Amino acid sequence: MSNLSAAPIRVAVVDDHIIVSEMLALSISKESDLELVDIAGNVADALDLVRRDRPDVVLVNFRLPDGDGVDVVKKILEEFPDTRVVMLSGSVDHEVRAQAIGAGCVRYLGRDRSIRDIINAVRSAAHDDLIRSDEFTSLLKEWRTTPQR
């Protein structure tokens, strides 16, 4: 009896920087356990993509031309609460990370991370591996040591 492999993890990429979205798309496409469903460059297209293709995981950039990633996350999860969202951001602002996690992101990665880290975050997100405790502890530690305004 042959071992049936699991269905691939369906991934969407939402980023307004074409080079970033195309590199992520290419990297995702090369993984045997991942399937790229589509890419979008703004909030409106992202919502259309998720409604149409129902990805398992959505990689979302925080800054988009027609809104921010936190708004996208909230809108996606209102309609599709089982979708896993991973936020990518160039910001190290602790408030942004807290907002992303509070909105329902299961992972938050800086844009300084490697493609391998992002691919692994997609896999973790798809398998309900929420933010690892060491990441959360690090976030809390940074937040506590940052002067509040």
Cα–Cα separations (whole angstroms), residue 11 to 36, 55, 108, 134 = 5, 5, 16, 25
Domain range annotation of the chain: 9-143
CA distance 100 to 66: 17
Identify which of 115, 141, 89, 98 has the alpha carbon closest to the alpha carbon of residue 34: 115
Per-residue pLDDT for 45 more than 70? yes
Structure tokens at 13: 């990429």
Strands 67-68 and 63-64: antiparallel
Quick: pLDDT tens for 51-101: 999 999 999 999 899 988 898 999 999 999 999 999 998 877 788 888 898
Quick: pLDDT tens for 112-142: 899 999 999 999 999 976 554 445 545 555 5
pLDDT (0 to 100) of residue 96: 84
H or E element that contains 121: helix 115-126
What is the assigned CATH class of domain 9-143?
Answer: alpha beta
